[in-house]
Copies of this chain bind each other. A is one copy, B any other.
Amino acid sequence: MTTTTSRLNQVDIETVGALIGAIQTEPERAQTVWSAEVRWTGGFGSESRVREFDPVPSDEPTALGGDDTAPNPVEQLLGALGNCLAVGYAANATAAGIALQDVTISLEGDLDLSTFLGLTEGHAGYDGIRATVNIDSDATTAQLEALHNKVVATSPVGHTLSRPIPVSIELG
């Protein structure tokens, strides 16, 4: 990834700055609501729709009884974390004047299927998630460590996963 426009990291930092200014004037503008619609498509398949974008498919591997046509929900969760971190590095690097050449993030999570399969009661989710970030940049190690710490301290998906969140699931 090389910077091909006059914008550092191709980030529209002026818009981010304008949003920050607007929130400083009207703090309630920081309160946002996000949404998605999911429809079951048969078997273990489903698709999620967000705003006007094309639906994104979901499935399970054949070993779990699916048709293996798409990433499964727990893999999607890892992808969401990685994408969130990518935005965080791009935003905070740009704000700090650091040019990024490349950012890649490898994610892994450990999951005991016993609860999902009804063999035990208890925690059905990930027991732990690990992300390893590789950054190609001319910045110093100290600059990259400061950038990294800022991203970890401000990641919406990272915080949603690492902290307990009220999740209400109701029949309509």
Query: A129 to nearest B CB, angstroms?
Result: 5
Residues of B within 8 A of A19 (CB): 63-65, 113, 117
Q: A161-B165, A168-B129 are in contact. Are A41 and B1 (CB under 8 A)?
A: yes
Q: How far is the CA of A129 from the CA of B156 in the complex (A)?
A: 13
Given contacts A15-B62, A36-B79, A50-B76, 18 further A-B contacts (CB under 8 A): A20-B119, A34-B78, A34-B109, A34-B111, A35-B107, A35-B108, A36-B71, A36-B82, A38-B82, A43-B90, A46-B82, A47-B83, A58-B79, A74-B156, A111-B156, A125-B160, A126-B165, A144-B171
Sampled A-B contacts (8; CB under 8 Å) = A11-B44, A12-B62, A16-B117, A33-B109, A42-B90, A44-B86, A133-B170, A151-B169
For this chain, the copies found in one complex come to 2
Mark out the residues of chain A between 117 and 163 whose CB falls within 8 Å of any chain B CB in the assembled complex.
Answer: 117-119, 121, 123-135, 144-145, 148, 150-163
> Of all chain B residues, which has the CB nearest A100?
B40
Q: Are B82 and A37 in contact (CB under 8 A)?
A: yes
Instruction: Give chain A's interface residues, CB within 8 Å of chain B.
Output: 1, 4, 7, 9-13, 15-16, 19-20, 23-24, 27, 30-44, 46-48, 50-51, 53, 56, 58, 60, 62-66, 70-92, 95, 100, 102-119, 121, 123-135, 144-145, 148, 150-172
Q: A36-B71, A109-B34 are in contact. Are A128 and B79 (CB under 8 A)?
A: no
Q: How far is the CA of A34 from the CA of B116 in the complex (A)?
A: 15
Which one, B34, B56, B63, B164, contacts A164 given CB within 8 A?
A: B164
Q: How far is the CA of A19 from the CA of B119 in the complex (A)?
A: 11
